[in-house]
Amino acid sequence: MTTRLNRRGFLASTGALAGGLAFLGPRDLLAQEGGTLRFALSTYPPSFDAWASSGTAAGTIKLLIHRGLLGYAPDGTLRGELAESWKVDDTGAWIFKLRDAKWHDGTPVTAEDIAWNVLEAQKSDSAAHFQGQLSAITSVETPDTKTVRMVTTEPLAVLPGWFADFNMPMIKKGEPRDTTLGAGPFTLASTDRGVSLSLKAWEGYYKEGLPKLSGIEAIVYADENLRVAALEAGDVDLIEYVPWQSMTKIEGNDELTLQTTNGPFMYLTFNGSRPPFDNPKVRQAVAHAIKREDIAAAAFYDRGGALEHLPIPEGSEFYNPEFKDAWNYDPDKATALLAEAGYPDGFECTMLSTAQYGMHQSTAEVCQAYLSMIGINVQLDLPEWSTRVQKGNEGSYDLAVMGTAASNNDPDGLSSVLDGSLPASFVRSFALETPEISALFAKGRATFDTEERKAIYKEMEKIAIDTTPMVGLSWRSQGYAMKSGVSGFTSMPGQLIFYSGTTLEETMFG
C-alpha cells in the first residue's frame, strides 16, 4: 500500500514544526531590567495578617512593606525602626520615642497609632501571635505624639524583642489587619494570588537613600529544584530556602553567591504524660544514644552541625561552652541510663515525624537506627504535615522529631520549645512539666542586667541538660543564593535568619 503520508512527508512536516521553535531565540527577554530584583519565594504568603504568624514567606513580605517599633540590623543587633530610641524608666515601664516616619499614604506615624496596635493585638480574641505576651502590658500611654509609654505587670527586659518581631509590625490606626499600607521601604503594587507579588520602592521611607532597588518581583517557586534551576537559568536574581543538595553546586558557580547560616535546628520532643518518656533518665538515654553527625549528613548533606546542647548558637553571648557536648554520643552511657530507669531490655515506642519534608523523615530514620542499638525499637509514624501538627498538639506519640527556629537570638526565644508551663503545642514536649525551667525563664524576662541574665540562662541550660525536656539533634544550615551581581543582601545570624528580608532595603545590583 502506498500513501502520501510517506516518510518524506512526515519528516518534512515534523521538521517544519521543529523549525517553528526557532522563534524562541536566545532568552534576552528575561534579562534584568532597571533596578527590579526578582526574588524566588518558597511559598505564597497564606495571609497578609500583620500580627498573625503566617510563616517565613509572609514574614519576608511583611519586612518589606511594614516596620515595627524596632528591628534587627544585619549583624543581628536590635535597632530602632519606627522608634528612634527606647529605654526603661525608673518604674520599669518602657518608653519609645518615635522618629519622623510616614505611612504609605503620607500621613505621619503617631504615638496614637502605636498604642492602637498594642491595644488591638492584646485583645483576647485577636489571634495575634503576640497576644499572650502583650497581655502583660497593662496600659499604653501617649504623653505626646512621638512618645509611647508601656506599663507592664512586672518589669520585662524582653519586651523590646516583641516589637522587633516580624509578627508584630505597626499598621496605621483603624486599618484592617491584613492591610498592606505600612511604613516599610516598599509598597505592594499588585498581587497574583499564589503566583507573585509586585513591590515598588516607597519614596517616603524614613531612611534616606533607601531602598536602593526600584522594585521587587517576588515570584513563588514551590519546587526547591526549580528554584535553583530558575536562578541558574537567570530567571530570578535571589532565592530563599536553598536546598542542601544544591549548595555545593551553587558555591562552585562563579555567577552565583551562596550565604548560609546555622540557625534553625532539629530536635526531639517527648510525651511526658505516660511511661517511658515521663522518666528523665530515659530521655537522657535517648540524648546520648544518637550520633548527631549522621543526622547532619543524612538530612542536610553535611550542611548543618551536631547539636548536643540547647540550641544557643556558639556566637551568642549566652552560649555556654561547658555544655558544648553535654548530650554527646555515648551508647554505653545510654544503655546504662536505660537500665537505671528500669528498662534494661529496652522497649517499643512510636516516633512521630512527617514524610512531607525530607529533613524530618531522614532525621527520624537516623534516630530510629541509633535507638534500636540501645534496645529502643521505634516504629515511625510519618503522616503528612497537617496530621503531624494535630497529633503533636494532642500528644498522640511517644517521641517526635521537630524542626524550627527560635523567634530571636535571645535565650527567651527558646521558651516556646522548652517551657512546659505553656499550653500544649506540637513544637514542645507534651504534658512535660518543667517548673524550674519555667521559673528561670520568668526570672530572665524580668532581669535587665546582661551578666545576671547570662547566669540565669546558664542555670537553665544545666537543668535542661539534666532533665532533658527536649533533645537537640542538629543545626540546620539555612541558605539564600543570589546572582553575583547582587549586593547588600545579608543572611542574618543565628535564629534571625528569617529576618534577612530586612536587608532587601539595602540590596542593589552591582
Partner 1 sequence: MVRYIAYRSLMALFLVWVVVTIVFLLLHLIPGDPAELLLSQGSIAADPAAVAALRTKMGLNEPLWQQYLSHLAGVLTGDLGASFRDGAPVVGQIAQRLPRTLEVILTAAIIATTLGVPLGTFAAIRAGGKWDSAISLLSSAALSTPVFVVGSVVILIFAQQLRILPAGGFVAISVDPVQHLKLLMLPAGTVALGLWAVITRMSRATVLEVLQRDHVRTARAKGLSHRQILRRHVVRNALIPVLTVLGLEMGTLIGGTVLVEFVFNWPGLSGYLVSAVDARDYPEVVGIVMTISILFVFLNLLVDVVNAALDPRIALARS
Task: Mark residues 382-411: x for contact with partner 1 by CB under 8 A, - for none.
Answer: -xxxxx-xxx-x--------xxxx-x----
Query: Which residue do the cell numbers 500500500 mark?
Result: 1
Q: Report the alpha-carbon distance of residue 380 to residue 359 in Å, rounded.
A: 14
- Give the residue with the Cβ less far from partner 1, 96 or 162: 162
| Min CB(448)–partner 1 separation in Å | 26
- Return the residue of 16, 24, 90, 106 that touches partner 1, per CB under 8 A: 24
Q: Which residues contact 255 (CB under 8 A, 6 or more apart)?
A: 483, 484
CA atoms in the 13 A half-sphere facing the CB of 328: 8
Find the binding residues for partner 1 in span 434-493 (CB under 8 A): none
Q: Which residue in the set 35, 92, 155, 234 belongs to the binding site for partner 1 (CB under 8 A)?
A: 234
> Contact between 47 and partner 1 (CB under 8 A)?
yes
- Full 3-state SS string of 177-237: CCCCCCCCCEEEEEEECCCEEEEEECCCCCCCCCCCCCEEEEEECCCHHHHHHHHHHCCCC
- The residue length of the chain stands at 510
Closer Cβ to partner 1, 244 or 329, answer by number: 244
Left if phi > 0, otherwise alpha if psi is -120 to 50, otherwise beta: which for 90? alpha
Nearer of residues 7 and 91 to partner 1, judged by Cβ:
7
10 sits near partner 1 (criterion: CB under 8 A): yes
| Cα-to-chain-centroid distance, residue 19 | 49
In angstroms, what is the minimal distance from the CB of 111 to partner 1?
Answer: 26
Give the number of residues in contact with partner 1, rule: CB under 8 A: 74
> Closest approach of Cβ 482 to partner 1, in Å?
16
Looking only at the bridges linking them, the beta strands covering 215-220 and 36-41 are parallel
Check residue 31 for interaction with partner 1 (CB under 8 A).
Answer: no
Residue 53 or 316 having the CB closest to partner 1: 53
**What is the distance between the alpha carbons of residues 51 and 121, in angstroms, rounded to a whole number?**
7
416 counts as binding partner 1 under rule CB under 8 A: yes
Closer residue to partner 1, CB minimum distance, 84 or 217: 217
Residue 53 in the binding site for partner 1 (CB under 8 A): yes
- Return the ∠ at Cα 377 (arms to 375 and 380), rounded to 5°: 155
| 16 in contact with partner 1 (CB under 8 A) | no
Contacts of partner 1 in 140-179 (CB under 8 A) = 178
Q: Does 291 bind partner 1 (CB under 8 A)?
A: no
CA-closest candidate to residue 260, choices 213, 311, 305: 305
- Residues numbered 180 to 209 that lie near partner 1 (CB under 8 A) are 192-196
Task: Return the C-alpha cell found at 503.
Answer: 536587608
Q: Which of 422, 439, 442, 508 binds partner 1 (CB under 8 A)?
A: 422
3-state secondary structure of 263: strand
Identify the residue among 78, 226, 355, 439 touching partner 1 (CB under 8 A): 226
Which of these segments, 55-63, 332-340, 367-375, 455-463, binds partner 1 (CB under 8 A)? 55-63
- 128 or 183: whose CB is closer to partner 1? 128
**Rule CB under 8 A: which of 89-148 touch partner 1?**
124-129, 131-132
Q: How far apart are alpha carbons 244 and 257 in whole angstroms?
A: 14
Report how far residue 485's alpha carbon sits from residue 60's, in angstroms, rounded to the nearest whole number.
Answer: 21
Note whether 221 binds partner 1 by CB under 8 A.
Answer: yes
**Residue environment code for 42-59, b if the CB has 16+ CB neighbours within 10 A, otherwise e:** bebbeebbbbbbbebbbb
- DSSP assignment string, 415-434: HHHH-TTSPP-TTS-BT---
Give the one residue of 29, 254, 345, 510 binding partner 1; rule: CB under 8 A.
29
Nearer to partner 1, 419 or 461 (CB): 419
Does residue 219 belong to the site contacting partner 1 (CB under 8 A)?
A: yes
- CB of 228 or CB of 295, closer to partner 1: 228
Question: Residues 382, 361: contact at Cβ < 8 Å?
Answer: yes
Q: Identify which of residues 20 and 510 has a Cβ nearer to partner 1 in the complex.
A: 20
Alpha-carbon span 92 to 497, nearest angstrom: 31
Which of residues 219 and 504 has its CB atom nearest to partner 1 in the complex?
Answer: 219
Stretch that binds partner 1, among 101-109, 154-162, 337-345, 416-424 (CB under 8 A): 416-424
Q: Pick the binder of partner 1 from 427, 456, 465, 473 (CB under 8 A).
A: 427
Q: Assess 14 for contact with partner 1 (CB under 8 A).
A: yes
Residue type, 295: I
- In the chain, the largest separation of any two C-alpha atoms, in whole Å, equals 103
User: Which span sits near partner 1 by CB under 8 A: 51-59, 97-105, 136-144, 332-340?
Assistant: 51-59
Q: How far is the CB of 405 from partner 1 (least distance, A)?
A: 8
